[in-house]
Amino acid sequence: MNLGYINGKFVQLDELVVPIEERGHQFGDGVYEVIQCYNGHPFMLEEHLQRLIRSCEAIRLPITETLADFRDIIFSGIEKSQMQNGKVYLQVTRGIAERNHPFPEVPVSISMTLKEMEPMRTEYRAQGVHAITHEDERWAKCYIKSLNLLPNILAKQVAQEAGCFEAILVRDGHITEGTSSNIYMVKDGKVITTPLSNHILAGITRMAVKESAEELNIPFVEKNFTVKELLEADEVFMTSTLAEVLPIVKIDGADIGTGSPGDITNKLYIHYQELKKRAMEVMK
């Protein structure tokens, strides 16, 4: 069943539990992680929690919880909800206090939802998805997984209204990432993606794809590239926790390569499934 959690208490998702003067609600003053579970096991949990703690440190959230504490909360939720294939949404905010900009001296708030999910639509995997390019209007610290997602939401809505799955963001003429994904192009047998910087999130699935590419002896190149280079790529794909490895076959109305998912994208997706299987075996 779907389940919620807030500050030490498990709740139903329709319970009214967030106070009006909660800083996540009023300011977006917090950070989050989304973790995919397969057969009741959270995939790459350590990496997600390490990134959560880095995000807390980056916005000076005074957490006392350790990585092990967060792990215990998540596994308790999985056990109580009996979730098998779904997602954990974990959020930490600066807490409950009178609305005022300076940091309050109050405990942080920790909340979580656990929801069963249907797998990605098979036609997306088999046929690929469409995307648009969109100006990157976000702030200068996109490496923080912050609750402040309004520019992402607006760009994603433009994509949806254009009948597309994702908006690929462009800053100073170069690709940064998607609204909720990292973006890659394949050219001459090489996987090329934007280098890590303040302007993109260090994706957890990005880490796994880099590992897959290395094991498959596919060159993995981190360098900046333009919209023109993207449109001239042999293949394009995106990665995220929920989408995994997903081919993009059309951008701004133009076909990428043959207009079908490419061989390297498919190889990386298959290898990603192997990484999941290995991780599940270790956790048994």
Domain ranges of the chain: 3-116, 122-280
pLDDT at 281: 73
> What crossing angle do the helices spanning 45-58 and 67-81 adopt, rounded to 10°?
130
What is the rounded CA–CA span in Å between residue 222 and residue 81?
40
Among 2.60.40.10, 1.10.3720.10, 1.20.120.420, 3.20.10.10, what is the CATH number of 122-280?
Answer: 3.20.10.10
Q: What is the per-residue pLDDT for 283?
A: 66
Q: What is the pTM of this model?
A: 0.95
Per-residue pLDDT in tens (0 to 9) along the chain, 284 residues: 899 999 999 999 999 999 999 999 999 999 999 999 999 999 999 999 999 999 999 999 999 999 999 999 999 999 999 999 999 999 999 999 999 999 999 999 999 999 998 888 899 999 999 999 999 999 999 999 999 999 999 999 999 999 999 999 999 999 999 999 999 999 999 999 999 999 999 999 999 999 999 999 999 999 999 999 999 999 999 999 999 999 999 999 999 999 999 999 999 999 999 999 888 777 66
Q: Whats the size of the chain, residue-wise?
A: 284
Rounded CA separation 143/1 (Å): 33
Answer left, alpha or beta for residue 84, where phi above 0 means left and psi between -120 and 50 means alpha: alpha
Pair 82, 2: CB distance under 8 Å:
no
3-116 CATH pick, 2.40.128.50, 3.30.470.10, 3.20.20.80, 3.40.190.10: 3.30.470.10
> Strands of 9-11's sheet, edge to edge?
9-11, 3-6, 109-116, 86-93, 30-38, 41-42
Residue-wise over 112-134: b if at least 16 C-beta within 10 A, else e?
A: bbbbeeeeeeeeebeebbbbbbb
pLDDT at site 278: 86
Which residue is it, tokens 């440190």?
57
Question: From its phi and psi, is residue 83 left (phi > 0), alpha (psi between -120 and 50) or beta?
Answer: beta
Task: Please identify every residue annotated as catalytic.
Answer: 145
pLDDT at 119: 84
Matching fold, domains 3-116 and 122-280: no
